[in-house]
Chain A
């Protein structure tokens, strides 16, 4: 009658239970690990709303000068683009149209042109009917990094007080623009 007790010292008696608990814990962790990337969507989930927009000022493509602080009081769309980026080419006409339509109500569009050549950009503006666009060249892309840009195209909405309202990675849609801009114009 004493033998089983001897064969199994006290700490081993709970062995199967410990193994079971450990397995359950590891299983839960694996499940959590698999689901983790889905929960906090990287990039898009970055809390931008309400923070002051980074500075953006410098010479423009047409020889002028642009400063974000100078257009305080206007709603500013900052579109990060490049002539080597196909989707940028596709969305430019939409952005230019939006500016044309809303500029009387105080909407301004600025292109931040990253890692590009002046000639290539001019050709792109010609092709897409965006000739009048204010373009701030960013030949080494460091301004874009200051804005936390993850790729092109990317578009930021800055409100009349110079605060970031939203950002969009990838091509914008008419609906997205309307949803972001209309409330800012109403207020």
Chain B
């Protein structure tokens, strides 16, 4: 029993030490960033997140470390701006403290009860002689219960390890990755490369949403015939697709101005509240009549 307890405590200690030293050893920016919660994400630390805000926060941490600020000063700086929730381990207060306290108290109480039952007290040994079989039963109950608890903890630990990995491969959907990559390329104004990624994604899984983004990327890359072709593919299935009409009309402007005006008017008729509608109206107003020379 004592051995089992010592082994459990040792294992817990090793686990804690390992998780604590995990981020301390490497670079100091990561160590501080790991203690900050990314405000734009769900349950990710600033060290792990790829969101632009988290990247900016890492930069701030690096700048402040370079200026000689220490970990606590930087954490305080972030708390002033983002509130205590920005810390991954906010100071325990109120209900949070209770959440730690109650299990600890329960463990202490259980341990005390176990010790009282398992260790026969010298003072009461003689008068309690008739109750010896009961005491033995109680001791047995305690042992069975403690073995049960240990078994439960071990099985949860094993099951948690088994359950974890299958969750990981799911986000690595090649199509989603390709679309995300293409999107990143677009933000860097690399529309050619983005169009290629979209085409790759479409080969894997045809999707009109991705096709429209491909059309926009082609248009921005200067390939207006490719953009027209792609937009027409979408319009063939969904003749009133606002984005399809929009990209087709914009692409036509380079080659057939008259048709472009017609297509863009249709776009305005289909989606008068579209974010681009105001701009298209201005475009059309600036141009001469559609049937002109």
A52 close to B (CB within 8 Å): no
**Closest Cβ neighbor of B183 among chain A residues:** A84
Question: In the complex, are the beta carbons of B53 and A150 less than 8 A apart?
Answer: yes
Within 8 A of A (CB), among B130-189: 130-131, 134, 186-189
- A35 CA to B124 CA in the complex, in Å? 49
Within 8 A of A (CB), among B242-287: 275-276, 278-279, 282
Query: Known contacts A6-B134, A33-B95; is A89 also within 8 Å of B52 by CB?
Result: no
- A67 CA to B82 CA in the complex, in Å? 23
Question: In the complex, are the beta carbons of A42 and B83 less than 8 A apart?
Answer: yes
- The segment from A57-65, A71-79, A102-110, A115-123 that touches chain B is A115-123
B98 close to A (CB within 8 Å): yes
Mark interface residues in B36-71 (1 if CB within 8 Å of A CB, else 0): 000110000000000111011101100100000000
Question: In the complex, are the beta carbons of A32 and B55 less than 8 A apart?
Answer: no
Interface size class of B (residues with CB under 8 A): 35 or more
Q: Which residues of A contact B51 (CB under 8 A)?
A: 151
Question: In the complex, are the beta carbons of B57 and A93 less than 8 A apart?
Answer: no
Question: In the complex, are the beta carbons of A142 and B56 less than 8 A apart?
Answer: yes
Mark interface residues in A111-155 (1 if CB within 8 Å of B CB, else 0): 000110101100000011100000000001110111111111000
- A117 CA to B185 CA in the complex, in Å? 13
B102 close to A (CB within 8 Å): yes
Question: In the complex, are the beta carbons of B40 and A150 less than 8 A apart?
Answer: yes
A36 close to B (CB within 8 Å): yes
Q: Which residues of A contact B276 (CB under 8 A)?
A: 127
- A84 CA to B187 CA in the complex, in Å? 6
Question: In the complex, are the beta carbons of B52 and A114 less than 8 A apart?
Answer: yes
- A44 CA to B187 CA in the complex, in Å? 28
B81 close to A (CB within 8 Å): yes
Query: Known contacts A89-B275, A141-B56; is A151 also within 8 Å of B83 by CB?
Result: no
Q: Which residues of B contact A6 (CB under 8 A)?
A: 128, 130-131, 134
- A146 CA to B53 CA in the complex, in Å? 11
A43 close to B (CB within 8 Å): yes
**Closest Cβ neighbor of A140 among chain B residues:** B59
A185 close to B (CB within 8 Å): no
Question: In the complex, are the beta carbons of A142 and B63 less than 8 A apart?
Answer: yes
Q: Which residues of A contact B106 (CB under 8 A)?
A: 22
Q: Which residues of B contact A114 (CB under 8 A)?
A: 52, 56
A25 close to B (CB within 8 Å): yes
A82 close to B (CB within 8 Å): yes
Residue pairs across A and B with Cβ atoms less than 8 A apart, 23 shown, are: A6-B128, A22-B102, A25-B102, A29-B99, A33-B95, A33-B99, A36-B95, A43-B83, A46-B83, A82-B52, A84-B187, A93-B275, A93-B278, A114-B56, A119-B189, A120-B189, A141-B55, A145-B53, A146-B60, A146-B81, A148-B81, A148-B82, A152-B52
Binding site for A on B (CB under 8 A): 39-40, 51-53, 55-57, 59-60, 63, 81-83, 85, 95, 98-99, 102, 106, 113, 116, 128, 130-131, 134, 186-189, 275-276, 278-279, 282
Additional 14 contacts, C-beta under 8 A, given A145-B56, A145-B60, A146-B81: A6-B130, A22-B102, A29-B98, A43-B39, A114-B52, A117-B188, A127-B279, A129-B278, A142-B59, A145-B53, A146-B60, A150-B53, A150-B82, A151-B53
